[in-house]
């Protein structure tokens, strides 16, 4: 669910952390990195850039 929100949602990472029941963005980011081997900000940025690129072409 968290990865989908990072890809699809326009909300901030801290808001996504709250949506998936984390008390802090830091705790969410640590758990996400452990699971996906990418930082949340990096994951969010890459997928949002891809969405933007696809919308233009």
pLDDT at position 18, please? 94
What is the pTM for the complete model shown? 0.72
Q: Work out the pLDDT band at 10, boundaries 50, 70, 90.
A: confident
pLDDT at position 4, please? 87
Domain carrying residue 48: 2-56
Whichever domain contains 9, its CATH number is 1.10.10.60
DSSP letters of 3-36? HHHHHH--S-HHHHHHHTT-S-HHHHHHHHHHHH
25-55: per-residue pLDDT in tens? 999 999 999 998 989 888 877 777 776 677 6
- How many structural domains compose the chain? 1
């Amino acid at each position: 669910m968290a990865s989908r929100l990072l890809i699809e949602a326009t909300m901030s990472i801290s808001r996504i952390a709250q949506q998936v029941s984390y008390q802090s963005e830091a705790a969410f980011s640590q758990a996400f990195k452990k699971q996906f081997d990418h930082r949340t900000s990096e994951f969010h940025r890459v997928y949002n850039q891809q969405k933007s690129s696809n919308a233009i072409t």
